[in-house]
């Protein structure tokens, strides 16, 4: 098979932990051809969507993990699968790229995850589709509404809708001396909507990443446990990743969401679960595959490649 990955610049990827690199290596080990390109390399000419792609030779050396064999302009329909793995922010350039990917899909290309789904599933707001699994949540730019929510729940998390890796996440208690300033900064003085959620004490046991491939959960999650004095479990914020079997509640949430996510064209999804609550639905470039493999031996990338080898379209 020919498999293309849409990623950030290759030289900036951290091969020792990057899930996209992990998937590339799995594909290459199975004898598939691996290609990569950035969203800036997408092009539409006479309605045909193509990209300037690099054919890659993969290595196990994390310092020199790839070399470029050759480059060419190729239609996205030339590939057996095109994996959209560009990291947020989901900005104008990102959204335009999903429109081109949707057009390529209409021409017969296999796009993972589907462009329309990437547009529809904001990674914070998507939990609103599944309210039975969420803690009390408010989304608004209105500072008075945020303040009232803090008063009601006394201990909350405030986060921007376009953040990733734990950026711009604040825990705010009702008696926090910085409360007003945090609300002002997060909402940009009432101009930008934020998500406010009741604080979930179970974060001390970890913010669990549950990975789904084509609607089916991997058997292990990665619990990202906050470092001392921190409320964020994100690995990028210094959290410690501990792989563990899915709990009964994890299974309940994953199996309830799986069919809907699959139907919407979301093949690779990362659910964030704290305690009993769903907190995010990650669809852009879900991570933690490497950590799960290193600690348990279970290969989530293998789940994906098995799927690609068994099916020619989604």
**CA angle centred on 74, ends 72 and 78, rounded to 5°:** 135
Q: Residue 287 and residue 79: Cα distance in Å, rounded?
A: 23
From 124, 179, 198, 208, the catalytic residue = 124
Per the listing, tokens 């009741």 go with: 198
Q: Residue 71 and residue 68: Cα distance in Å, rounded?
A: 8
Helix ranges restricted to H, the chain: 19-29, 92-106, 115-120, 143-153, 179-187, 248-263, 289-296, 300-310
Q: Residue 190: helix, strand or coil by DSSP? A: coil
The answer to whether the Cα torsion of 98, 102, 104, 105 is positive or negative is positive
Has 280 been annotated as catalytic? yes
From 214, 232, 264, 291, the catalytic residue = 232
Q: How many CA atoms lie within 13 A of 220 on its CB side?
A: 20
* Residue 172 token pair: 């705010």
From 86, 114, 224, 264, the catalytic residue = 224
How many other C-beta atoms lie within 10 A of the C-beta of residue 58? Answer: 17
Has 209 been annotated as catalytic? yes
The single-letter DSSP state of residue 174 is T
Q: Residue 98 and residue 217: Cα distance in Å, rounded?
A: 25
From 18, 207, 272, 291, the catalytic residue = 272
Has 159 been annotated as catalytic? yes
Q: Residue 83: helix, strand or coil by DSSP? A: strand
Phi-psi region of 119 (alpha: psi -120 to 50; beta: other; left: phi over 0): alpha
Has 224 been annotated as catalytic? yes
From 86, 160, 198, 209, the catalytic residue = 209
Q: Residue 314 and residue 311: Cα distance in Å, rounded?
A: 7
From 26, 105, 123, 280, the catalytic residue = 280
Strands 2-6 and 33-37: parallel
Please give the positions annotated as active site.
124, 159, 209, 224, 232, 272, 280, 282
């Amino acid at each position: 098979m020919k498999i293309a990955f849409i990623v950030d610049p290759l030289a900036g990827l951290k091969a020792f932990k990057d899930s996209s690199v992990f998937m590339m290596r799995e594909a290459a080990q199975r004898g598939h051809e691996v290609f990569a390109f950035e969203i800036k390399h997408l092009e539409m000419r006479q309605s045909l969507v193509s990209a300037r792609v690099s054919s890659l030779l993969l290595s196990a050396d994390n310092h020199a993990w790839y070399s470029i064999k050759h480059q060419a302009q190729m239609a996205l329909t030339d590939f057996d699968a095109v994996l959209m793995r560009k990291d947020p922010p989901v900005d104008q350039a990102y959204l335009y790229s999903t429109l081109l990917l949707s057009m390529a899909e209409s021409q017969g290309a296999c796009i993972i995850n589907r462009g329309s789904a990437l547009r529809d599933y904001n990674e914070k707001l998507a939990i609103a589709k599944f309210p039975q699994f969420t803690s009390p949540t408010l989304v608004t730019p209105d500072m008075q509404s945020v303040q009232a929510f803090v008063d009601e729940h006394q201990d909350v998390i405030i986060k921007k809708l376009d953040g990733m890796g734990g950026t711009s996440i604040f825990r705010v208690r009702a008696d926090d001396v910085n409360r007003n300033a945090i609300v002002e900064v997060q909402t940009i003085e009432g101009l930008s909507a934020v998500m406010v959620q009741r604080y979930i004490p179970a974060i001390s046991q970890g913010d669990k990443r549950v990975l789904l491939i084509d609607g089916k959960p991997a058997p292990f999650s990665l619990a990202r446990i906050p470092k001392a004095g921190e409320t964020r479990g994100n690995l990028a914020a210094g959290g410690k990743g501990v792989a563990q079997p899915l709990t009964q509640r994890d299974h309940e949430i994953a199996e309830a969401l799986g069919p809907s996510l699959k139907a919407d064209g979301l093949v690779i999804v990362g659910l964030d679960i704290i305690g009993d609550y769903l907190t995010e639905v990650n669809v852009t470039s879900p991570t933690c595959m490497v950590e799960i493999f290193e600690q348990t031996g279970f290969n989530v990338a293998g789940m994906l490649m098995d799927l690609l080898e068994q099916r020619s379209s989604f």
